[in-house]
Amino acid sequence: MLPVALLGAAVWSFTLWRGPRARGPLPSEVYVWQRAWTPSVRAALADHATNFSQIVGLRAEIVWQKNRAPQLTRAQVNFATLRALPTPVGLALRIGAHPGPFTNDATGTFIADTARWIVEEAQTNGLTLSELQIDFDCATAKLDGYRVWLQAIQQRVAPTPVTITALPTWLRSPAFKRLAAQSPNYVLQVHSVARPRSIAAPFALCDPAAARRAVERAGRLGIPFRVALPTYGYTLAFADDGKFLGLSAEGPRPNWPANARLREVNSDPQEMAALVQDWTANRPAALRGLIWFRLPIGADNFNWRWPTLSAILEARQPVEKFGGRAQRVATNLVELALTNDGELEVLAPWTITARWAGARLIAGDAQRGFTLAERRPDTAKFVSQGPPVRLRVGEQRTIGWLRFDQDCEVHCEVFKR
């Protein structure tokens, strides 16, 4: 057994190695990354902006053509919507991968000028930005070069604060600390989409264990940072021979072959909730907040619904609550539906058993991926066929109907198989 003095010294050394700690609720911010600000985007902001300490919207993206000339794409930001929000607003400039050189040449000047345009346009539209966020897909070996661009951007947009996004792989580079020290804080992105090896290979948008390790490593640097966590999902496509074809989220589906093999990958709300709960209880003091990618929009198919994120913002696990509903739609005719009244999307094979008394079943049928598997004098069983059926938060999915010789009360029991 260690002497008390040595034990105390060991604990003290371990505490210093981990760095200062903090606990308590973390403020949450959110990204709005849509390029078209549809009515559903504006409605989501109006309904939910007050749940966040800051809104960060994508304003523009720079990609590089084959001759390395920049190509600028502007998002259709609605400044009237942003101006009406009671929440601070930042805007983001996304920059695609670039090999350098990183000097104040025509390329560096174009980037700095674009940053200046974003800030000035916001001011012209009556909006003072809380920050300009730079999301540059930079190779780790080029971080010192990136610092040259960052300094130029800061000079052009001063006094607007400039924040950078960072990858966990950057944290081991001495150049990153020099880069991060150039900004008041940075955003650590612990989610990413790496090229999958095969359709069956393990794949996650955010590995919780890796995220915890990255946050601890970032905390030891002592520079204030926020963590970006995912709410979204993708469809991955593979050819018959296993070749990776690409991925798709919101928007038109790419022109994949008809026989493409598809796989959906989504962020796990329960894992993200556990991260938030852990960091609420104990975290590096340098971790100052969370920023979610991205704001739930009613029209999104590859993003959480609002109740899911709302539960996590309260630092608790979202609740699963599904059931069945029997609704009289005409004389002696009942429609049966699956319902999701919880805070979690459910993907499962389903069995729905309908029960009644005092009436005779005349006819019935199933629909939308279900079959009427069993009929008895007082029960009928509906079973899903094929792949698991997705039931989104707030969704009611009609799965079949029953017609009786007289009106009766029908009760449903729902099971995940």
Least confident of 30-39, 261-270, 303-312, 341-350: 261-270
Range 360-375 average pLDDT: 96
Q: What is the pTM of this model?
A: 0.91
* pLDDT, tens digit (0-9, with 9 covering 90-100), for 306-365: 999 999 999 999 999 999 999 999 999 999 999 999 999 999 999 999 999 999 999 999
pLDDT of residue 17: 62
What pLDDT score does 15 carry?
47
Residue 10 has what pLDDT? 43
- Domain assignments of the chain as residue spans, ordered by start: 16-232+267-313, 233-265, 322-416
- CATH of the structural domain 322-416, one choice from 2.60.40, 2.60.120, 2.40.50, 1.20.1630: 2.60.40
Instruction: Give the model confidence (pLDDT) of 37-89 as tens digits.
Output: 999 999 999 999 999 999 999 999 999 998 889 999 999 999 999 999 999 99
Would you say residue 104 has pLDDT above 80?
Answer: yes
Query: Which residues have CB under 8 Å from 147's CB, separation 6+?
Result: 102, 175, 178, 179, 182
Report the alpha-carbon distance of residue 60 to residue 187 in Å, rounded: 18
d(CA 216, CA 211): 9
What integer pLDDT is reported at residue 246 of this predicted model?
83
Cis check for the bond before 101: say yes or no (omega within 30 of 0): yes
Q: Is pLDDT above 90 for 400? A: yes
- 192 pLDDT more than 90: no
Give the separation between CA 111 and CA 134, rounded to whole angstroms: 10
The continuous run of DSSP H or E covering 217 comes out as: helix 208-221
- Asked, colleague to colleague, whether 16-232+267-313 and 322-416 share their fold, the answer is no
Residue 300: burial class (beta carbons within 10 Å; 0-12, 13-18, 19+): buried
Provide, rounded to the nearest whole percent, the portion of the chain with pLDDT above 70. Answer: 95
Q: With 80 as the cut, is the pLDDT of residue 194 above it?
A: no
- For 128-147, write each residue's pLDDT tens digit: 999 999 999 999 999 999 99
Burial class, 247, CB count within 10 angstroms (exposed 0-12 / middle 13-18 / buried 19+): middle
CATH code, residues 16-232+267-313: 3.20.20.80
The pLDDT assigned to 251 comes to 64
pLDDT band at residue 252, thresholds of 50, 70 and 90? low
Report pLDDT for 37.
Answer: 96
Contact 185, 163 (CB under 8 A): yes
For residues 15-33, give the mean pLDDT.
Answer: 88
